[in-house]
Amino acid sequence: MSLVIRVVNFIVARALNDRQFKALLDEVGNNYPGLLLHSNVRWLSRGKVLSRFAACLSEIRTFLDMKGVKHPELANTEWLLQFHYLVDITGHLNQLNVKMQGIGNTVLSLQQAVFAFESKLELFLRDIETGRLLHFESLRQFRDACLASDPTQHFDLQQLAGFTSNLLQSFKGRFREFRERTGLFKFITHPHECAVDKVDLTCIPGVSIGDFELEVADLKASDMWMSKFKSLNAELERLARQRAELAREHKWTEMKNLQPEDQLILKAWNELPVTYHTMQRVSIAVLTMFGSTYACEQSFSHLRNIKTNLHSRLTDGSLNACMKLNLTTYEPDHKAISKTMQHQKSH
């Protein structure tokens, strides 16, 4: 990655080099307008930088030769093998990252996305070990191109399999506590299927385990409240289908207008009577768990946009007021408010 950053900075960070490289891309008929800069702050930029670098690799070699800059790694088969592997694996990580973004995702949905990616990593590991490379498009194309020019060439994929295995173990270790809380997280959407002995309430202080078990027993015996959560799951399924269709069509703005998942779950729990107050407390505790830093990062972005040198007042009070307006989801009913006001009569 360090070599890629050095090459990209050499081309993009200098105006003359950038113009000349773009002219070279136009001359050879490359569809890309240029390279992308990498930012350590934005994780998603890494995968995009690598994929663009791979797409323009032949033009990059030609341009560096024209400038007299030597980077022998760009012609080294072993280095290129690892590079194309990195292009593919960061692409898969980017897809996981996108799934975990957005406001309204519950810790349960994020946990399911992480566990699904762990299963995919096991699939990727077998894919590399067998040499099929069905899920590593860039790596497969590079290998096939090399074999087409030299059929006797041998590729050692064991090191790449080791990288994938280490990544899998890292995920399992980092999210081990998530796995231990699976029963608790599933409780918020499937309380009627809850096995009380598998729900660990130690992370929620002040909750009576005895009251919780009794309320779960009452809920399972009530057909009326059981149907409430069956309807909830039907609504969550409909929401998931809508998100998938909008994501396929890249309609991200319309996706933001969908009702958040956590609001649907909270609404269902608020409709229960107070006799289930312990269960309600547990569900709210799970819903308020920070499964993603997306909301914090979004708040910081709003803060940066607000605190510019164009503002005449940068006091804490004005900043807090602007932040509340940017972050709140409250929509005032202007018609109802206007009805409570006395109209100004003409004289």
Rounded Cα distance between 78 and 194, Å, is: 52
- What single-letter amino acid sits at 44? L
Unique residue bearing structure tokens 């002995």:
197
Which tokens sit at 163?
A: 């990288």
DSSP 343: P
pLDDT category at 42 given cuts 50, 70, 90 is: low
- What single-letter amino acid sits at 134? L
Do the beta carbons of residue 183 and residue 198 sit within 8 Å?
A: yes
Q: Dihedral sign, CA of 278, 284, 290, 292?
A: positive
| Sequence spans of domains, the chain | 1-71, 76-180, 182-294
User: Looking at the whole model, is its pTM more than 0.85?
Assistant: no
DSSP states of 1-13:
-HHHHHHHHHHHS
Mention every residue, 6+ apart, whose C-beta is less than 8 A from residue 127. 133, 134, 135, 136
Do the beta carbons of residue 93 and residue 62 sit within 8 Å?
A: no
DSSP 342: P
245-273 per-position pLDDT tens digit: 888 887 877 887 888 888 899 999 999 99
Type and span of the H or E element at 177:
helix 176-180
65-110 per-position pLDDT tens digit: 888 888 888 888 898 999 999 999 999 998 888 888 777 788 888 8
Rounded Cα distance between 39 and 258, Å, is: 31
